Structure 1
Amino acid sequence: MSDRHRTTTARLNVYIQGQGFPILGLHGHPGTGRSLSVFTNHLSKRYQTIAPDLRGYGKSRWNGNFAMNDHLTDLEALLDRLNIEKCLVLGWSLGGILAMELALRLPERITGLILVATAAKPRGSHPTITWQDNLYTGIAALLNYIKPSWRWNIETFGKRSLFRYLVQQHTSTTYNYIAKEAVPAYLQTSPAATRALYSAIQSGYNRLPDLPQIQCPSLVLAGDQDRHITSDSSLQTAQHLQNSQWQCYSNTAHLFPWEVPQQVLNDIDHWLEEHPQVIGIQ
C-alpha cells in the first residue's frame, strides 16, 4: 500500500454484530453506525451486520476537508480490511446515496441494495426554517435527551419543532430513538462532513442516468410525508433501477424506520426471502 493511499483513507470505526452473510449498513447525515440499530439489532440475528461511522461522523474522526467520494474509498478499504468479498448494502438517506455509488463502483461485490428514505436525484420540499423552529427543536431535543419520550415535551415542543418534518407519528417509540441515537449523532457530526454533503447537493447531484447499470435487486422504501427527500424522488429512483421493489409508508416522514419499525422490518424480511441471491443463496 502506497503512502499516498494510507494518508487518503480513513480507518473507520465500525460496529459488527452477528454472524452469517455480511450486510453493510450506511447511516445518514447526521448519523453514526449506532443510528442503524433499528435494522442491525434485528438483522444480526441471522446475518453479520457491519455498521461503520462514516468519515467525519461518530468516532471516525478526520482532520481537514474531504469530498463525498472519499466515503467510497473508505468503505472499499473497510471491505478489504474485513475480507468481505460480497455484501448486501442497506443505506438510509445519505447512506442510500453511498449504497448506490458503491454498487456502481463495485458491481461484482454488491449483491443487493436496501434503500431507505433516499434518492439518486434527491429533492426536498422543506419549508423555510424560522428561528422559532430552531429554538423549539433545541428545547425538544434537550428535554427528550434528559427524559426520553416525555409526553408533555412532545406535545409542547416536539410537535412545534423541526421534528414535525422528520416524523409524522409522535410516539414514545419514535422519541426514544431520537433521544438515544439522533441527538448523540448530531453532536458527533463534524463541520467537514456537513460541508462535503452540502457541496455535493449544491453541485446538483443526479445519478438517475447511471442507475440502469445497477443489476442487483433493490428494495426502495419511502415515507409518504418525507420533506427531506420526497417520496416522489425515491419513486423516480426505483423506476430507474432495473430490478427494484417499491414500498411507501403512509403517514410517515424521513425517520419512518423509527415510526413504524415492525412494518419496515417485516417488509425487509419478506424481500430477503423472495431474493435469496442477495444473501449468497443461489
Structure 2
Amino acid sequence: MDLQVLVQGKGFPILCLHGHPGTGNSMSVFTQHLSQRYKTIAPDLRGYGNSQTTADFAMTDHLADLDALLDNLQVEKYLVLGWSLGGILALELALRSPDRVSGLILVASAARPWGDHPPITWQDNLYTGIAGIVNWLQPGRQWNIDTFGQRSLFRYLVQTHTPATYEYLAQAAVPAYLRTSQRATRALSTAIRQGYNRLPDLPQIQCPSLVLAGACDRHITAAASQETARQLTNSEWQCYPNTAHLFPWEIPDQVLADIDDWLKRYSQG
C-alpha cells in the first residue's frame, strides 16, 4: 500500500522506522536533527498513523510496503534507523536487500526481543490514562509528572521524568497511540507468539551497525540488544545508564551526539 511519509533534507538517504505504537512523527527527535545533513524518510507504517488499512496483514507486508516506497522515491542505497519494532524491520530489510542497506542504527531493539515487564494492574492503567490526558492538555506539567506520571506505566518507559521528556510524550507518543490500529497490534502480537528470532541469521549482515540500548529498558532489555550486537559482524553497542525504552526522549542530546560520531566514522569508511 502507499504509505504516508515525511521526507526532509538532502543528502544520503536515511530511512527512519518507528516502533509500536508510533508514526513517522515519532521519529522527529532524529529527523529534525539528521535532515540538516541527510535526506530523512520517515513513513507511517501500514496500520499506523495516516497509513490506515481496512484489511488484516502480516509483519512481512511492512517490508513490501517499504520496498515500494523506496522504489517510488528512487532510492537505491540507504541507511536504516529503526526504533523498537522499527529496528526489527531494519534487520529484515538488511537480510532481504543487502545490496541496498548500507548501514543500520538500532534503537531499543533486538533480533530476539525479550523483556521483563512486571504485570500490569488496574491502577497502572488508571494512572496512565490520567497522566496521559493531563500531559496532552498541559505538556510537561511538573505536578502531573509527580502525582500521576511516576505512578503510571510511564515509569517503565522512561527513567528521566523531566518536563522535556513528557513534552515528547505529549507531542509524539499519545497521538501515535490513538492512531495505531487493532490490525497493527494483531500483526505484531502474532509475530511475537510465533517466537521471532533472527539471531542465527545475523552473521549474513555485513554492513556497519550501531546498536543503542537503555539500561533499564523493560520492553526490550539491554541484554537482548547486546546479544544482537554480538551476533552482527561489524557492530558497535552503547548502553545508557538510568534510561528505559524511550531513552531518545530522555537524553536526546547525548544520543544524537553518539549517532553523529558514528555517522562521521561510517561516512569516512
Alignment TM-score, normalising by the size of structure 1: 0.95
Partner of 1:89 in structure 2? 80
Gaps of 5+ in 1: 1-9
Partner of 2:26 in structure 1? 35
Partner of 1:5 in structure 2? none
Give the drift of 1:61.
0.9
Amino acid corresponding to residue 7 of structure 2 in structure 1: I
1:116 equivalenced with 2:107 (yes/no): yes
Of the three residues 158, 162, 165, the one matched with 2:149 is: 158
| Structure 1 stretches of 4+ moved >6 Å | none
Partner of 1:138 in structure 2? 129
Q: For 1:225-255, what per-residue CA distance to the aligned partner results, in whole angstroms no more than 9, with x for missing partners?
A: 0000000000000000000000000000000
Alignment of 1:53-132 (within 5 A): 53-132=44-123
The residue matched to 1:142 in structure 2 has which SS?
A: helix
The residue matched to 1:248 in structure 2 has which SS?
A: strand
CA distance in 2, matches of 1:105, 1:210: 11
Gaps of 5+ in 2: none
CA distance in 1, matches of 2:19, 2:129: 20
CA distance in 2, matches of 1:58, 1:154: 26
Alignment of 1:184-223 (within 5 A): 184-223=175-214
Q: For 1:196-248, what per-residue CA distance to the aligned partner results, in whole angstroms no more than 9, with x for missing partners?
A: 00000010000000000000000000000000000000000000000000000
Of the three residues 266, 274, 281, the one matched with 2:257 is: 266
Q: For 1:33-79, what per-residue CA distance to the aligned partner results, in whole angstroms no more than 9, with x for missing partners?
A: 00000000000000000000000000001111100000000000001
CA RMSD of aligned residues (A): 0.6
The residue matched to 2:6 in structure 1 has which SS?
A: strand
Aligned residues: 269
Partner of 1:45 in structure 2? 36
Q: For 1:160-194, what per-residue CA distance to the aligned partner results, in whole angstroms no more than 9, with x for missing partners?
A: 00000000000111000000000000000000000
CA distance in 2, matches of 1:255, 1:37: 13
The residue matched to 1:95 in structure 2 has which SS?
A: helix
Amino acid corresponding to residue 100 of structure 2 in structure 1: R
Of the three residues 224, 234, 241, the one matched with 2:232 is: 241
Of the three residues 241, 247, 255, the one matched with 1:250 is: 241
Amino acid corresponding to residue 98 of structure 2 in structure 1: P
CA distance in 1, matches of 2:208, 2:131: 39
Partner of 2:173 in structure 1? 182
CA distance in 2, matches of 1:273, 1:18: 17
Alignment TM-score, normalising by the size of structure 2: 0.99
Of the three residues 210, 214, 229, the one matched with 2:220 is: 229
CA distance in 1, matches of 2:214, 2:141: 25
Of the three residues 16, 28, 38, the one matched with 2:7 is: 16
Give the drift of 1:141.
0.3
CA distance in 2, matches of 1:72, 1:272: 24
